[in-house]
Amino acid sequence: MTPGPGISRTPLPKGFVAGGINSGVRKYRPDLGIIVSETEAVTVGVFTQNECKAAPVLYSQGILPSEHIRAIVTNSGQANAATGPQGRERNWQMALSASQAVGCLPHQVVTASTGVIGVPLDIEKISAAMPEMVERATENAEGFALSIMTTDLVPKTVTTEVELTNGNVRITGVSKGSGMIHPNMATMLGYIVTDVELTVNQAQAMLRESTDLSFNMISVDGDTSTNDCVFLMANGASGVALSNEDDVRIFRNALVELSIVLAKSIARDGEGATKLIEVELKGAPESKMARQAARGITLSPLIKSAVHGEDPNWGRILARLGAESVPGDVLEKMSLRIQGVKIFENGGPAVFDRAEVKRLLKTDTVKIEADFNSGGANAVAWGCDLSKKYVDINAEYST
């Protein structure tokens, strides 16, 4: 598994090219990106559950799943959310101009947007830049990854090669996200492409599972975006299919692992973040409780602030678990560790060196482990600390 941030090349699978360009919507950086499959690709998506859905979300939901997609086009800087009929018309025009540049039909192009809500697309600039962007597309993911960034500090790409019974296939993922992140059956923007042969049903089931274990277990600020979506494209260019149950398991595990790498990179790059928080929760009576409790810890502004201040204030964790409806009898059995140090057990505080835990909290990754000792359900969630810079970024976001 090769993560992309900080490296110069993240190769795409066979039969894919991608690129990005500055269309003039943003001043200094790429603001329009595209991923193109040379042949028709099985493509599926999961989308935000926010009832205020952006125009590209509504459009892409209407054409997916599909066996005939050729491209995904994305703009940054203008979310095209809450823009009414005009926004839907301009989204259609973006798909149309992309299809003309690629050489396919408009309904073979999936769209996505990211940026300021309430701002429609500057469609003239976007359409004019489309032919050059497609012409300059390469077999690497970096140009596209740069084009979809908003407040992200780094591009987020990852690639892996998977050995199956009849040959090797590649999976490459790209994502963006930094703020307004608390996914619900989707992620900020996520793109996973592969040259394996998949059916629509296989692709949809695997994408939902991998998303549920990765992107749906991160939180930066508790806000579910109007534009969240994640896509999986499989063009079969390798000529390799999932020929048996072992192949299915191997490919599915690789997809989950890749998605987790991307999800953690989003949490680590949260707006103003200085630390990644990983919460591992074990021994819950049932899965729903485990997932809700783990996510609740990553969401709490009090816990996030304590982590930022390197303060081992474990009482905030107990309080949050209670607020997440973890029963009192379960909390009585729980053991709790911060950075590997046991701080709570059997309903009361454990003896620990507070100064030592504070020292351990100075790292850029903080691990919180809770064992409910009440069942067999486990969950892992990721988040980030809450800094003064987060407030600064979001106080000035639209200006």
Pairwise CA distance, residues 230 & 192, whole Å: 8
Compute, in degrees rounded to 10, the torsion defined by CA atoms 338, 374, 291, 390. -20
Contacts made by residues 203-206, CB under 8 angstroms, sequence distance 24+: 203/42, 203/43, 203/44, 203/65, 203/232, 203/234, 204/44, 204/65, 206/232, 206/251, 206/252, 206/255
Rg of the chain (C-alpha set): 22
Q: Answer yes or no: are the C-beta atoms of 190 and 231 closer than 8 Å.
A: yes
Catalytic-labelled residue, pool 10, 157, 187, 194: 187
Check residue 359 and give left, alpha or beta (phi > 0: left; psi -120 to 50: alpha): alpha
| Catalytic residue flag (residue 274) | no
Pairwise CA distance, residues 25 & 361, whole Å: 41
| Residues labelled catalytic | 187
